Structure 1
Amino acid sequence: MVAAEGASGLFGYCVVEYTFFEQGFVTMLMVAPSARGRGVGRRLLGAVAASCETQKLFTSTNVSTQLDAAAAASSWVEASRPSPRP
């Protein structure tokens, strides 16, 4: 786990597990509402990517999250996107 803290407390954290085909997988990325939009998520993703113990690091999102923006800002590559439901 990697955490981001400031003078006012915890800004966010990111958890990586190694249970997805024996590769790193971001299971949780949380950023406090007061810290959103300031690059905290991008920096957390960068930190876990730099410390990842495997060749690849994956995550999964749904359309209701802001992780897509943080991942794009961190130069992550989209592996696939499911087709929209009818």
Structure 2
Amino acid sequence: MNKVDHIPNISVRENTSKLIRVQVSGPRESETSYGVLVDLTFDEKGRCDSAMRLEWFTKSHCKLEKVEVPNYLDAYFLYAPEWLLAKNNVKYKL
């Protein structure tokens, strides 16, 4: 089983819409936002092999999760409202 590590200091407003879980890469953090690489592509084993662009998401609407993957790079997941993903033109599958 993969070890799951929640990045500290995350907050989600109680009144936001349902959060969508999207795999992202290369997270960066500012005082108020998370910067992540979005629109990932995956290899035949289902591992992320590239990302298309950097987008910023406010901490007040989103949270970020780190999952340790044995013998490979860590995986990151952004939880964001659907309207915010649409605003940033993030591609994802439910």
TM-score of the alignment, normalized to the shorter chain, above 0.5: no
Highest RCO, 1 vs 2 (Cα 8 Å, sep ≥ 6): 2
TM score, norm. by length of structure 2: 0.27
More helix by share: 1
